Amino acid sequence: MPDQEISLPAKRNQRRWRMAFTAIYFTRVLVSLSKKVLDNQTRLLRSLSYVAIDVNSPRPIPGPFDGIDQKTLTEMVKKRSFESLQQLGGAKQVAAILLTDAKDGISGDEADLTHRREVFGANRHQKPPSKSFISFVFEAFKDTTIIILLVCAFLSLGFGIKQHGPKDGWYDGGSIIVAIVLVIVVSSVSNFKQSKQFEKLSDASSDIKVQVVRDGRHQPISIFDIVVGDIVSLKIGDQIPADGLFLYGYSLKVNESSITGESDHVEVNGTLNPFLISGTKVMDGFGSMLVTSVGMNTAWGEMMSSITRILEEQTPLQARLDKLASHIGRVGLSVAILVLAVLMIRYFTGSTRDENGKREYKGSKTRVSDIVNSVVEMIAAAVTILVVAIPEGLPLAVTLTLAYSMMRMIKDNAMVRKLSACETMGSATTICTDKTGTLTLNKMTVTEFWLGKELIKDDASKAIEPEIFKLLQEGVALNTTGTVDTTHASSIPEISGSPTETAILSWAVFDLNMNINETKQNCEVIHVEAFNSEKKRSGILTRKFEDREIHTHWKGAAEMILAMCSNYCVGSGALKGMNADDRLEFEKIIQCMAAKSLRCLAFAYKKVTHDNEEEVSKKLEEAELTLLGFVGLKDPCRPGVRTAVESCKNAGVNVKMITGDNTLTARSIAFECGILHPDDDIEKAVVEGSQFRNYSPEERMTRIEDIRVMARSSPFDKLLMVQCLKQKGHVVGVTGDGTNDAPALKEADIGLAMGIQGTEVAKESADIIILDDNFTSVVTVLRWGRSVSNNIQKFLQFQLTVNVAALAINFVAAVSFGNVPLTAVQLLWVNLVMDTLGALALATEQPTNDLMGKPPMGRSEPLITKIMWRNLIAQALYQLAVLLTLEFKANSIFGVNERIKNTIIFNTFVLCQVFNEFNARNMEKKNIFKGIHRNKLFIVIIGITIVLQVLMVELLTRFAGTERLNSGQWGACIGIAAVSWPIGFLAKCIPVSGKQLQNK
């Protein structure tokens, strides 16, 4: 009884919810019925008023999906169980159980989608928990230098309190601890933010678009929005977004290596293997699948939930910087050990004196606590020198630069998948680009139609004889992967598919008034040969229901289809044999269309004769076809492409166009884009793919530099060109969008996949995804790539100046006086400010036009160039001279005590770095203030640094071990530091050998 009492309200609530859902759904159905019937060809009688209701049975209202559960569906696909599928009645019966129309899909309204997600789950994978901020803090604490400093800090704190009492004894040790905490916090915050940035990038790269059928309409949606019961359209290059069953399609082959590890392509069909696994990729053919499991219920979901995509891979530049940092660290360690030895010797020989001039070590009279305290201070000073010597800011500068560049590049329509591509792009010497969609808009329209030798201009549907019109309609309607949706919501057909298919279908529907869907209903498709980049054509074998006639239809590149034809149609509808003269005339038509930058496609057919319908061969005839006609598709160049190509040339980057189009079409577009110029040797600059692959290896390497355009190329030709360019020493960037471009994208130094038209296979093989498919965005990536390397070099020059000056002044002072003018806290402050704030200021410099006026950086160019050495040495020598002068003469010059003298040295040292930060903004130009207003962050960081330095000197005297300075002393510090600007100006007047030749 208690159980029944508890369950009654739950059942009542469930019943109410179902009634509400039924009412809403039925109302929506009624609203749509009157519109649907008006779209039918049924004629209505005149009446004063009427309500039109289609008496077809409405879709079933989603209920509890009786007769099936998620576990059954999941296990059936995972185990590829034919027995389970047969028990359910096959794929179409499973669709019926899931309340899915096998043709029109699910309704797609929000209530239906919500219900399906509640029952079967959403298409999202559970990720391992991301690292917390605390974990980054612990990682920072593991640093050996930090541990040594902490030991010194606690020893200093203990002995200080014992010697001077709790009130005054904590300053030295406490100051070091505070400084260490600041360093750890800044490092942890930076790494934590970078981790979050990578997570966002991972989510963005996982969010792909898939084509589904809902309510009879083909529409692109996010992979995360797919639900069980959806019908997904699949084509070459698509990633299968969920587990499911094959419904219909042709020649569908899938690469399941991501699941099984086997590289062989698996054929999927309705009889032998109807199971489709999420995460696999379509390599050939096309089809539709019924989604049966999503998210964590799929095999891919289980696998991905235990894997975190590692985006924090170390880039080549980071590896080189780590190596450099280790070398500098060894030098710093040697100096620190030497300083410690000198300080120890001077202390225990009685040469070290305190502030009052008394000897600090008096042999047995000295208390043990004083000895230990002094030794701890000396160890702390030596360790701090080591901390400053190690350029810890270098990895941080690279991280900040790459993270900032990635964030800005996404705004500029480029999503980085591999960090190393950012810096490699700065060294690119050659870019091999596609034509369609990259240099052109990829918005194709049919502008010419030739029937035989006659150009059909006006009212094409009336100009074509009925018999020819029917054949052409078959070729267009059946031999396509595009779709024409005529929904009840609109009288205008919605056309979807690739740009080429969309253009042809739009021409057929709107210009020729063809009824595409009716033609599909009147014919049976026997066999399909899907389009691929090697054959450059697609074919289909069909049978009419009416007269059982069987036709082969081909569509593809005009010259390739023409080579298969022996007859052609004329305007009257008659068929004529094609002789040599006719073939020459057709070739001239194709050439004229190509010269006008038109992509020329041809339609051809052949009637198949047979004795018995069952004996019809599924092999498509490829000879003695009848030419139906040509269409010319116009794809205009993108605005700004010519300027972008010129920018690349000015930057010393060669642009080569590789396309599958006709040679004349490719050449025409190349002239329009500025890749070719009238004074170029066209014979050398333009080749066909077949010519290129038939060259001998020696001839290929000789001619590779001159080639600007490769037409009629296959994916193998593209790969071969990339390999030859790399052998020549070029750093190669390649753009691609098709599945067959994957080998070239992987082989290239930088693979750039197209985000709109690119297949998932191409995107997976690429390093960077161009989100708008625009060549101008490729140039933007090039600019950012150069900016990354340039910003890191700026910081490297700045950092090494700090290291050299700090090491030199402390070493000389230790040897000369037995103590160091810059205390542990002061050096930690310099390390914090110069490493972190300096990296942030210089790493966020935006790319300038000057970067695109320089030649590309070579693969083996040293990290520290001659220009950097010149600037670095000039500033380091000046700072060293000034600081040593202050160390030896400040007492007499300013008439101050030792503590104020050390404060002046510290203040001058920090201000020198602030002024030198301006010099580091531009390593070559004398005007260091140009464009400074565009980097507001730089100005803010300089302001913060100055304010913090004032606080260190004037207010935090106990913490920093400083004394307050008067206005005259401040003026002297600022004046000495400001001389860094004229020093930098004069240094840039010194010529660097080889620079002029390099620029030339």
- Alpha helix segments (H runs only) across 41-170: 70-78, 82-88, 91-97, 110-120, 133-141, 144-168
Hey, what are 994's tokens? 């080889």
What is the C-alpha to C-alpha distance for residues 653 and 786, in angstroms, rounded to an integer? 12
Dig out the tokens for 178 from the structure. Answer: 């505070």
**Maximum Cα–Cα distance across the chain:** 124
Nearest one of 374, 338, 376 to 149, comparing CA atoms: 376
Task: List C-alpha distances in Å: 485 to 103, 412, 516.
Answer: 11, 35, 10
Strand partners, 684: none
d(CA 95, CA 424): 49
Output the CA angle 737-475-533, nearest 5 degrees. 25
What are residue 839's phi and psi, to 5 degrees?
Answer: -65, -45
Is residue 811 within 8 A of residue 339, CB to CB? The reply is yes
What residues have CB less than 8 Å from 949, skipping those under 6 apart? Answer: 833, 907, 910, 911, 914
Q: Which of 230, 434, 485, 767 is catalytic?
A: 434
Nearest to 790 by CA among 734, 856, 875: 856
Q: How far apart are CA 53 and CA 38, in angstroms?
A: 9
Alpha-carbon distances of 777 from 218, 279, 648, rounded to whole Å:
30, 29, 12
Two tokens, residue 351 = 């040469």
| Strand spans (E) along 350-392 | none
Dist. CA 759–CA 211, nearest whole Å: 12
Return the C-alpha torsion angle 502, 503, 506, 511, nearest 10: -170
Q: Do residues 385 and 810 touch, judged by C-beta distance below 8 A?
A: yes
101: left (phi over 0), alpha (psi -120 to 50) or beta: beta
Q: DSSP letter at 440?
A: B
β-strand pairing of 243-255 with 275-276: antiparallel
- Does 168 participate in catalysis according to the annotation? no
φ, ψ at 307 (rounded to 5°): -120, 130
Distance CA 579, CA 567 (A): 9
Instruction: Name the nearest CA neighbour of 496 among 505, 487, 488.
Output: 505
CA dihedral 555, 556, 559, 565 (to 10 degrees): -20
CB-based contact 773:760 (threshold 8 Å):
no
CB 211 within 8 A of CB 220: yes
Q: Is 568:581 a contact under the CB 8 Å cutoff?
A: no
Residue 409 · residue 416 · CB < 8 Å: yes
SS3 607: strand
Identify the CA nearest to 788 among candidates 416, 429, 438. Answer: 416
User: What tokens appear for 894 in the block?
Assistant: 């300013």
Report the alpha-carbon distance of residue 666 to residue 678 in Å, rounded: 15
Mapped onto helix, strand or coil, the DSSP state of residue 209 is: strand
The count of other CB atoms within 10 Å of the CB of residue 250 is: 17
Report CA 716 to chain centroid distance, whole Å. 24
Cβ neighbours for 698, distance < 8 A, ≥ 6 positions apart: none
The residues annotated as belonging to the active site are: 434
